[in-house]
Amino acid sequence: MRVSVDMTRCQGHACCYEFAPELFTVDDSGYSTIGTGKLVPPGQEEKARFAIKSCPERALSITED
Amino acid sequence: MSKTEDVRVVYDAGLLHESGELGSPGTFHALFDSLRANGPVVRSTPDAGFWLLTQYETIVAAAQNPQIFSSASVRPLEPDPPYVWNPLMLDPPEHTKFRQLLTARFGPARVDELEPSMRQRCINLIEDFAGRGECEFVAEFALRFPAAILLEIMGLPDSDLNTFVDWENLILHGTPLTDPDHSKAFGAMVELMQYFNDVIEYRKANPRDDLISYLPTCTVDGGPIQEADVLNILFLLFAAGLDTTTAQLSYTFHHFATHADDRNRIVHDSSLVPNAVEECVRYYGIVTPARKLTQDTTVAGCPMRAGDMVAIPFASANRDPVEFPNADSFDLGRFPNHHLGFGAGPHRCLGSHLARRELRIALEEWHKRIPDYRVADGAEVLEHGGGVLGLETLLLAWK
């Protein structure tokens, strides 16, 4: 599983970081720094899905390998 | 029936906007529920009139689309305001120039740095009244805790807290009874701006690592920031950052004072607190901004015209059953929780990281010291409407 952020939508809420900081890194302003196609370590898929659903901007997405 | 006729004209703006009417807690959330049940768009007809969106989907889309939904006015009955709050009432790209000066100053890393000091301030406030067995929560805690932290961020001395809170009450909480001609609010605003001005001048000569030292050194459009913009930004942080956190704290503690099961769960398991904060911000949404249309558009099949005002109550979005299962239930275990309590789009609450941490610290430290409390016998709790919902007073008692 890989996760990506659409930086045209990210507004720095950092909800993803709040719930899964080891997966969803942010900069000092709260904007996502995961870029495109960041690999989710095995076993963290459920956490990644929940963090993505907590984004009010719908800026995050998942692609399955 | 055409789509236009689907729009129900049921809504009296006086219930929501600065009428000074008070209700029991929950009055205004129930109003949003009834409006949402009428359809995706309602029209308020008194005075100039405005549209009000009721559903999550359309509210988030409006907040994310400043090209059509402009922030040139953010109050539904004031389409042409004679003032511009910076950056709240600017649209991108102008908005971005100022907003980006502030984001890191209120970002997650900065909040981590501030946490020990925030926690100590919170503990001091609670311990001041914990032994007394009661407090008026709004005045003694909910107003003072966020104000003390904003003073620290701005770089203002703790000794000015009482003056700061007095200005806040005069500027933001006057009513037709207490300040009929707004002269008290205006006088306080003049004093506040003079105070900011004096501190700005002092910090130019004696800079420190605080917001008031930092802002005048910023660059906008390749040149130094205008002094008027610095003052405008400081005033907005004061006006938008204090009242909202006070209201959110008040609703949150009213909830736990009146719901013993939820209270016992967070008392016995503080790991539930971060989730509790999100659910409080969802369930007790407080802010209803508006947007002004830059062009004709259609929302949920309803045609609207350029220049129309559109209210986007985040409180209504947050209880939309299409987005949230059991939306009208407060659920401590709700996760994920993609609420719009802090808005969405480019004007997403700048202080959201700070507010989340303040709410979390308040719930943690309060319940370590005062685990069992209630609304004092015979105390009436009243809610006010307007652009920011809130509780007037909240008398809490404990053994």
* Distance of alpha carbon B325 from alpha carbon B348, whole angstroms: 24
Partner B contacted by A46 (CB < 8 A): no
Contact state of B342 with A14 under an 8 Å Cβ cutoff: no
* Distance of alpha carbon A52 from alpha carbon B203, whole angstroms: 43
Contact state of B339 with A27 under an 8 Å Cβ cutoff: no
What are the residues facing B23 on neighbouring strands?
A: B383
- Are β-strands B134-136 and B22-23 bridged in parallel, bridged antiparallel, or unpaired? unpaired
Residue carrying structure tokens 């926690």? B119
* Distance of alpha carbon B215 from alpha carbon A39, whole angstroms: 39
DSSP code of residue B204: H
* Distance of alpha carbon B316 from alpha carbon B282, whole angstroms: 10
Please tell me the predicted confidence (pLDDT) of residue B239. Answer: 87
Q: pLDDT under 50 in chain A at which residues?
A: none
* Distance of alpha carbon B374 from alpha carbon B135, whole angstroms: 11
Contact state of A28 with B104 under an 8 Å Cβ cutoff: yes
Please tell me the predicted confidence (pLDDT) of residue B300. Answer: 94
Q: Which tens digit of pLDDT belongs to each residue from B322-356?
A: 999 999 999 999 988 999 999 999 999 999 999 99
CA B168, B251, A10, B321 torsion: positive or negative?
A: negative
Three-state SS for B76?
coil
Please tell me the predicted confidence (pLDDT) of residue B45. Answer: 80
Chain B residues near residue A53 by CB distance under 8 angstroms: 336, 338
Three-state SS for B72?
coil
Contact state of B338 with A54 under an 8 Å Cβ cutoff: yes
Partner A contacted by B342 (CB < 8 A): yes
DSSP codes, B254-272: HHHHH-HHHHHHHHH-GGG
Query: pTM for the full model?
Result: 0.95
Q: pLDDT under 70 in chain B at which residues?
A: 1-20
Interface predicted TM-score of the whole assembly (ipTM), two decimals: 0.95
* Distance of alpha carbon B163 from alpha carbon B39, whole angstroms: 45
For residue B108, what is the enclosing H or E element?
A: helix B108-129
Contact state of B353 with A30 under an 8 Å Cβ cutoff: yes
* Distance of alpha carbon A51 from alpha carbon A47, whole angstroms: 6
Report which of B341, B305, B294, B354 is spatially closest to residue B105, judged by C-alpha positions: B354
Contacts of B126 (CB under 8 A, 6+ apart): B141, B365, B366, B369, B370
Contacts of B96 (CB under 8 A, 6+ apart): B346
Which of the residues B59, B60, B64, B98 would you substitute to probe the A interface, choosing the one with the greatest number of A C-beta atoms within 10 Å? Answer: B64
Both tokens of A46, joined, read 């459920």
Contact state of A28 with B274 under an 8 Å Cβ cutoff: no
* Distance of alpha carbon B28 from alpha carbon A33, whole angstroms: 39
Which of the residues B273, B278, B348 would you substitute to probe the A interface, choosing the one with the greatest number of A C-beta atoms within 10 Å? Answer: B348
Partner B contacted by A18 (CB < 8 A): yes
For residue B164, what is the enclosing H or E element?
A: helix B161-172
| Closest in B64, B107, B336 to A29, CB measured | B107
What does the H/E/C string look like for B194-229? HHHHHHHHHHHHCCCCCHHHHHHHCEECCEECCHHH
Both tokens of A65, joined, read 């390998």
| Closest in B335, B344, B353 to A56, CB measured | B344
State phi, psi for A39 to the nearest 5 degrees.
-70, 130
Partner A contacted by B336 (CB < 8 A): yes
Please tell me the predicted confidence (pLDDT) of residue B12. Answer: 60
Q: Are A29 and B110 in contact (CB under 8 A)?
A: no
CA distances from B315 to B284, B328, B358 (A): 7, 11, 20
